[in-house]
Amino acid sequence: MSERTSLVIAGSYWQIPIIKKIKSMGHRALVVNPYEDSPAFPYADGHLQADIFDFERCLAYCKEQDVSAVISDESDIAMPVVACLANELGVPSLGVESARLFTDKFMMREFSKKNGLLYPEYRMCSSPEDAIELLQQIRHKLIIKPLDSNSSRGVFIVSSEEEIIDHFEEALSYSKVEKAVIAERYIEGTEFTIDGIKTPSKHYSLAISEKKHYAHNNNIASELLFAHTNTKYDYQKLREVNDKFVELSGLPFGLTHAEYKFEAGNFYLIEIAARGGGNLISADIVPFMSGVDNYEYLVNCSFGYIEEPDFTVPAKYKNRCAVLKFFDTPANGGLVKKIQGCDYLESEPDIIRYKFNFAIGDIIEPAQNDSKRIGFYIACSENMDKLQTVMQTVHEKIKIVLI
């Protein structure tokens, strides 16, 4: 395949792996992002410093640079831009309608309802009164969230009219395209993520995690533990539910990341995206768990080389396990004096990546949304016993010391 040019949206730390993949395949990778010091700029062959929602500037740049693929990953807000630019350029993408379905939480609920899939009671809300009416109707606590935001911004669990009134405007402020909030019955059960890949005719669910959350905020994940089986939950049933949604959706190709909750023997879709899981789930964990080079397939499809491979996970990977573990802020936070134990993070072969989002001398506090977590590590092991040993050792050795 001769060298061709792609545009990656956006240019944060999380897009660096897809840029590296594009270049390793012999193509040019350009990036658009609004900030001069965008982390992905040094890795790209060129960049446009612009708001990704400045459609005309992005389109002009694509034409100027002879772009023949528009790509993103690990960014919900980028997907409608990817679809619109690709549509204008006449190159393959997820499509404008799929971009809407996989970013608009109300459309996800309506699609589930239309296709006989399970969903919690819900309502589109333009005012606090709309959410209060649902609360009075079902007599159960609600979760309210922006229609099309990400990173758990503006998400609140509410159980009274007063709490709805207190939080509604903040939730609304994070909605981007349409200023609305979706309110729905809050499901108390265990939460899962599931990442997959879509070919023209089939969806393959490749990696499932069971989630844990911070004690101070049950909307923010503190741990995602990946395995192919679970003694408490039927992962095959979850795969079937997830595959059905995607295959009915009309998504032509691409990566997927979904969140489900378990209640009374059933898996309920919370939300689903036509991109890979964030915090490097799609870049690091999915390939390890499945043996699938998901980025290579995404890049090839985006350039128009769309094939129909079999992405069934081979038996030799079925014992593999992985964890995305977020570090916890000690006590209620404070000034960081030192970090102990980093030598173990460097030396343990199963720890493939780690990152602290602060420096010595910074003030840290408990995360208020996904983007405010203080750091993470990713460990990938051939079996659960080894992974649990690594996790326990990290817990014992890594200490964030505050003044």
For residues 394-400, average pLDDT: 97
CA distances from 385 to 349, 380, 381, 382 (A): 15, 12, 9, 9
Q: What is the pLDDT of residues 291-339, one digit of tens each?
A: 999 999 999 999 999 999 999 999 999 999 999 999 999 988 999 999 9
Calculated CA dihedral for residues 158, 76, 31, 326, nearest 10 degrees: 60
- Is it the case that residue 2 has pLDDT exceeding 80? no
Q: Domains of the chain, with CATH numbers?
A: 5-93 (3.40.50.20), 121-185 (3.30.1490.20), 189-317 (3.30.470.20), 327-403 (3.30.470.20)
Residue in this structure with the two tokens 């010091």, named with its chain if needed? 37
Report the chain's mean pLDDT, rounded to a whole number.
95
Q: Residue 151: which pLDDT band, with cuts at 50, 70 and 90?
A: low
Q: What is the pLDDT of residue 147?
A: 82
What pLDDT is recorded for position 394?
A: 98
CB 147 within 8 A of CB 178: yes
Whole-angstrom CA distances from 223 to 155, 209, 310, 372 are: 19, 9, 30, 15
